[in-house]
Structure 1
Amino acid sequence: MIKARVTVTLKNGVLDPQGKAIEGALGGLGFSGIGSVRQGKVFDVTLETADRMEAEANLKSMAERLLANQVIEDFSVEIL
């Protein structure tokens, strides 16, 4: 069994209104010194295989086909 994490983030240059809202809310809560906030998604996936190369290939395919919108998002795959 392999545990992995797929992290999806907005590409540089893509506007992030949710990140801006979080940034403003943090300032409103009294946190200072925040340059910027970008939001993203994290998927923790358990695969029933022992083959790391197969797992990584499957995870990349999952991200390309479903988990990330490749027009505006980047993703990374990490085997834990």
Structure 2
Amino acid sequence: MKARVFVMLKNGVLDPQGEAVRHALGSLGFDGVDGVRQGKVIELTLSESDEAAARSTVTEMCEKLLANTVIESYRIELSA
């Protein structure tokens, strides 16, 4: 089973990397970009075949390591 974890800063948390990207896009002539939020995607290949068990395991991974839950939120997608 494959898992994809999307990690983003929570709303209200400053995103200096996103702001740098927004500024760079403006410098390159891409006007009209009012905001950029930058995050990360983590892809995992799991030996687990049960979707509920896989989701539980990946959630635990996120809570313990993959996301700083104080300032970041995460979303999990599973596929066969």
- Tell me which interval the TM-score lies in, with the shorter structure as reference length: over 0.9
**For residues 39-70 of structure 1, what are the alpha-carbon distances to aligned partners after superposition, in whole Å with 9 as ceiling and x for unaligned?**
00100111012111110000000000000001
Offset at 1:21? Answer: 0.3
Offset at 1:32? Answer: 1.4
- Aligned partner of 1:54 in structure 2 is 53
- Aligned partner of 1:6 in structure 2 is 5
Offset at 1:22? Answer: 0.4
Structure 1 runs of 4+ with >4 Å offset: none
> Equivalent residues in 2 for 1:1-80 (5 A)?
2-80=1-79
Letter in 2 for 1:73: E
Note the residue ranges of structure 1 that are not aligned, 5 or more in a row.
none
Offset at 1:38? Answer: 0.4
Offset at 1:4? Answer: 1.1
Cα distance in 1, alignment partners of residues 8 and 18 from structure 2: 11
Provide the aligned length of Structure 1 versus Structure 2: 79
Offset at 1:35? Answer: 1.4
Q: What TM-score do you get using the length of structure 2 for normalisation?
A: 0.95
Q: Percent identity?
A: 54
Cα distance in 2, alignment partners of residues 50 and 31 from structure 1: 44
